[in-house]
Structures are given as structure tokens and as C-alpha cells.
Amino acid sequence: MNAETVSRESDVGSRAEGEPTESRPQRPGSAAARDLSQPEIFDVLSSQRRRFLVHYLLRNEGSGTLKEAATVVGAWENHTAPEDLDPKLRTRAYATLRQTHLPKMDDYGVLTFDDDSGRIELTPTGAQLQEYLESRPGEVGNWWAYYLGVGILGAILGVLASGPFIAEVPGPSAALITGGAVAGLALAQFVSTAANRRPSDEIPEGQ
């Protein structure tokens, strides 16, 4: 065995002992923020417990512990103060956060969770969820204008149907046109509201 062969084997051996053969895949959002898709946002925020967890992290500058999160989230869910939370409810929140919600949110890159230390850190990707947690009470958009327009159209068709143009615009046709327009608007409003709905959770004051 010549010197060159010995050198190559020695180099391979040192890499095997001191360096991993392949790097671990980087978790989405672990290094830089990425835009969450609408289905991902809906999935993350479809659970009140996960929404409360994000609220908790945002109120604590993006970090916290599993123990504290379980206490605070459990208290919010049961409309009580953290110090008054029943230990059984705290344990239940702790278990589901650790086993279900935190791993799911970690996989999405919304936060990082260290199971050994119990440390939770909100990522830049997770910080994007703040705007989806803000409720917009009383916001009706421009739908009132659309319904007003349909109402005016219906009134005009009604006048035409009852006037000298009755042959051109019969009553049943006018009613059908107006009814169809209202139904179409109602469907469009339903779809728009569902697509832009943002969860609103009641958190006790002072917490």
C-alpha cells in the first residue's frame, strides 16, 4: 500500500468520524421567512388551540416555553386566569400541544420547538400569521353598493313591467332577473367572506 492510498483512506476515515455524510434537510422557514400558502394558513389557524399559541408567542416577543404556553392557552380556552387553571386542564393542554400542535407547526416552519428544553420560538414565517389573527369587526366592504344596485335595477324593471313597456319586459321575467341577481350576489359574498375570514378569539382582558 503506497503513501497516496494511505492518505486517501485516512482522509475518508476522519470525515466518517467527524462529519456527517449528508446534511440534514433544512426546515422550511428555519433560516428566512417564506410565504405561507392559503391552505397552509387555513390548516394552521383552523384550531383554536394553535391560534391561542400564536397569540401567546406574539405577546411574548416570539418566544416561550411549553409549560407556560400550556398554562396560558389552557386558561384562555377556559376563560379563567392562568393561576386558577385546573391542573387536569393544564395537563391536557400540555399533552396535545406537545404531541400534536407543536410538531405540526414546526413542520410548517411557523415555529421551532425543542422537545428537550421545551423552548418554543416563533419564526419569521410564523410572524406573518399576525395579520390573520386580527379581527375586523363591522367591516362589510362594498357589498352594500352591489345590493343597492340590484335593488335599483329591480325597481326599474318593475316600473317597466307595469307601464307601457309591459310587452317588452313581462312581470315574471323582471322578477326572475332581479331574483337571479340577488342570489348571485349572495353566493359571491359567501365565497368572498369564506376566503377572507380571519379567526377572532376572545382572550380575557389583562392576560
Q: Are residues 122 and 149 in the same domain?
A: no
The pLDDT > 70 percentage for the chain reads 51
User: 66 in a domain, yes or no?
Assistant: yes
pLDDT higher than threshold 90 for residue 86: yes
128 and 153 co-located in one domain = no
Q: Is the pLDDT of residue 21 over 50?
A: no
Residue 16: the pLDDT is 37
The x, y and z cell numbers of residue 9, run together, are: 483512506
* Alpha-carbon separation of residue 180 from 3, 118, 176, 189 (angstroms): 88, 57, 6, 14
What's 83's domain CATH number? 1.10.10
Distance separating alpha carbons of residues 151 and 130, to the nearest angstrom: 38
110 within a domain of the structure (yes/no): yes
Q: Are residues 43 and 120 in the same domain?
A: yes
Are residue 40 and residue 126 in the same domain, yes or no? Answer: yes
Task: From 62, 45, 63, 189, select the one nearest 131 (Cα to Cα).
Answer: 45
As beta bridge partners, residue 63 has: 121
Give percent above pLDDT 90 in the chain.
43
| Gap between the Cα atoms of 158 and 42, Å rounded | 44
**Does residue 159 carry a pLDDT above 70?**
no
Residues 88 and 114 in one domain: yes
Secondary structure of residue 15 in the 3-state scheme: helix
Average pLDDT on 14-31 reads 38
| Domain-terminating residue out of 93, 113, 133 | 133
Q: Is 172 found in the same domain as 117?
A: no
- For residue 74, pLDDT over 90 is answered with yes
**Domain presence at residue 149:** yes
Q: Is 123 in contact with 129 (CB distance < 8 Å)?
A: no
- Residue 64 domain boundaries: 36-133
pTM of the model: 0.56
* Residues 42, 124 within the same domain: yes
C-alpha dist (Å) from residue 43 to 29, 32, 40, 70, 105 = 17, 21, 5, 20, 10
- By the 8 A CB rule, do 109 and 175 touch? no
How far, in Å, are 3, 20, 22 from residue 14 at the CA level?
Answer: 17, 11, 15
Task: Indicate if 111 and 157 belong to the same structural domain.
Answer: no
Which of 106, 133, 160 finishes a domain? Answer: 133
101 and 150 in a single domain? The answer is: no
Number of domains in the chain: 2
Note whether 127 and 147 are same-domain residues.
Answer: no
pLDDT of amino acid 32: 60
Q: Is residue 8 part of a domain?
A: no
